[in-house]
A = this chain, B = another copy of it.
């Protein structure tokens, strides 16, 4: 863990770092055990090459939540927060106070909305889940998805 100058505004540094390297995403999995049939999984993550992953440990320490794991597919380390509670209480307030500047801010805004929908259990009924899907499919358009929007909408008819 690097030594930190306490006079620094490290919160802003983190927002800058995340604006470059971070990712807000919401994915979906088919789950027979869940009544609606789909699990909604919001995730905030930051990846970095293993040989310069110091910042991930710093981010984890400052946010006080999340896990760091090895991604064997591309030899990176990934810091990730999946807990809805941590996302709402720790991650979202940080980026409200120290906002992103790039267009990634649009992803964050949709991500935040979906987390608030989930807090109100929207993901547990058809109407709410459809709303969440609409928001989620407007995020990270370049990312890969296991199911298309059409497939999910069809399944929820």
Residue ranges of A at the interface with B (Cβ–Cβ < 8 Å): 2, 4-5, 8-21, 48, 51-55, 58, 98-99, 101-104
Interface of A is mostly: helix
- List 3 tightest A-B contacts by C-beta distance, closest first: A16-B16, A20-B20, A13-B16
With a cutoff of 8 Å between Cβ atoms, the chain B residues found around residue A51 in the complex are: 103
- State the CA gap A52–B102 with chains docked (Å): 6
- State the CA gap A156–B21 with chains docked (Å): 40
Contact A8 B12 (CB under 8 A): yes
Closest Cβ–Cβ distance, residue A25 to chain B (whole Å): 15
- State the CA gap A99–B9 with chains docked (Å): 11
- State the CA gap A48–B21 with chains docked (Å): 11
Given the known inter-chain contacts A8-B12, A104-B52, please indicate yes or no for A19 contacting B17, CB distance below 8 A: yes
Contact B16 A103 (CB under 8 A): no
With a cutoff of 8 Å between Cβ atoms, the chain B residues found around residue A98 in the complex are: 8, 13
With a cutoff of 8 Å between Cβ atoms, the chain B residues found around residue A52 in the complex are: 102-104
Nearest-neighbor residue (CB-CB) of A19 within chain B: B17
Contact A101 B12 (CB under 8 A): no
Nearest-neighbor residue (CB-CB) of A142 within chain B: B49
Closest Cβ–Cβ distance, residue A114 to chain B (whole Å): 20
